[in-house]
Amino acid sequence: MTVEEGVALARLTTIGTGGRARAFARPESTDELEELLGWASERGLETRVVGLGSNLLAADAGVEALVIRLAGALASVVVRDGILSAGGGATNAVCLHRARAAGLGGLEFACAIPGTAGGGVWMNAGAYGSDWAAILARALVVTAEGSGWLDAAELGLSYRHSELGAGRIVAQVEYRLEPRPVDEIRDRVAELIALRKSTQPTTKRTFGSVFKNPDGQMGAGKLIELCGLKDHRVGGAVISPMHANFIENAGGATSADCLALMAEARRRVREEHGIELEHEVVLLGDLRLPDA
C-alpha cells in the first residue's frame, strides 16, 4: 500500500475545489486500514475519508491530514442469506443494484445520494423519507486501537448526524432490508431518479446539499430562495438557480467562493426569517463559517 503526498483534493471532490492533502492512501483491507490509522496517529495527523467526494468542501490551502479512499475488499458488496454486506467504500449505486437483483427493498432512496455505504452511516444520510438509521443492521468501525461492530443506537444516528468523528472509520456495513418484488424496486428507483433530476442540479458540479433542513420549518432551499439568493454568485461559485440549497462550481470556483456564498445565505436567512441554518456539508481543513 502506497501513501502519496500532496494529492489535489479538487480531483477527489465532486465540487472540484480545494488544495492538497498532506497524505493520501487507498487501503484494501481492515488490516491495512488499521495500519494506516496507526501511521497517522504516530505523526499527529487527523484522518478523513473522502468516499466519492460528495458532501465535502476542502480548504484552498490544503488539508493537514491523511485522506483515505477505501478500495478492494473495503469497497466490495456481497449478498448472502438475505443480508447485504458492503464495504465502507462501496458505492450506493452498486449496493442498490445488488439489492434490486436479490429482490431486497429499502435502499431505493439511496439512488438520490451519490456516495458510499460508509459515508451514509457517518452522516446518517437520507432522502425521500428514509435514511441510514432505518436500514442499518450494524457497522464495523475501525480505529487505530482496533475495530468493533456497532448498531444504529450505538452509533448515535439522528438527523444527518452520527457520533463518529475523525479517526473512526466505517469499514463494513450490514443492511437490514426486506424482500420486495424486483419490478417494484425498479419502478420506485426510476420515480425517485426522475424526481431528483427535475428538482436538483444533477448535471452540475456541486457537493450536494449545503444546509440541513431546520426542524419544523420549511426547507433550507426554500428559505434561501425567499431571500432572493438563487443565482447569486461569488467568483466562480453560484447558488443554484434550480435549487437554492445547492452551490454550483460554474467554472474556476474556489472553496473560499463557496464558503462566502454559504455565509451570505446563512446571514440572510437569519436576518429575514430568524432561523439559524446549520451546514450539512463537511468542512475539511481551516474552513469556518462566521458565527454571526
Q: What angle do CA 8, 32, 93 make, to 5 degrees?
A: 65
Distance, in Å, from the CA atom of 47 to the CA atom of 24, rounded to the nearest integer, reads: 10
The answer to whether 280 is a known catalytic residue is yes
Comparing CA positions, the residue from 123, 129, 127, 134 lying closest to residue 160 is: 123
Region 64-73: mean pLDDT is 98
| CB-based contact 74:88 (threshold 8 Å) | yes
The model's pLDDT over 131-151, given as tens digits with 9 standing for 90+, comes to 999 999 999 999 998 999 999
Question: What are the start and end residues of each CATH 3.30.43.10 domain in the chain?
Answer: 7-68
**CA proximity to 164, closest of 150, 146, 175, 144:** 150
Q: Does the predicted TM-score (pTM) go above 0.75?
A: yes
Q: Per-residue pLDDT for 292 more than 70?
A: no
- The span from the CA of 242 to the CA of 221, in Å, is 10
Q: Known catalytic residue: 209? A: yes
Tens of pLDDT, residue by residue over 225-244, are 999 999 999 999 999 999 99
In angstroms, rounded to a whole number, what is the distance separating the alpha carbons of residues 63 and 12?
13
CATH tag, 201-284? 3.90.78.10
Residue range(s) occupied by CATH 3.90.78.10 in the chain: 201-284
Q: Is 264 a catalytic residue?
A: no
- The architecture in CATH of the region 75-198 reads 2-Layer Sandwich (3.30)
- Cβ–Cβ under 8 Å, residues 144 and 38: yes
Q: Please tell me the predicted confidence (pLDDT) of residue 167.
A: 84
7-68 in CATH: which number?
A: 3.30.43.10
Task: Give the pLDDT score at 82.
Answer: 87
* Catalytic-role residue among 48, 98, 100, 160: 160
269-287: pLDDT as tens digits: 999 999 999 999 999 999 9
Element of type H or E holding 148: strand 146-150
Task: Enter the C-alpha cell of residue 225.
Answer: 430562495
Catalytic residue among 85, 162, 209, 240: 209
Domain with CATH 3.30.465.10 in the chain: 75-198
pLDDT band at residue 290 using 50, 70 and 90 as cut-offs: confident
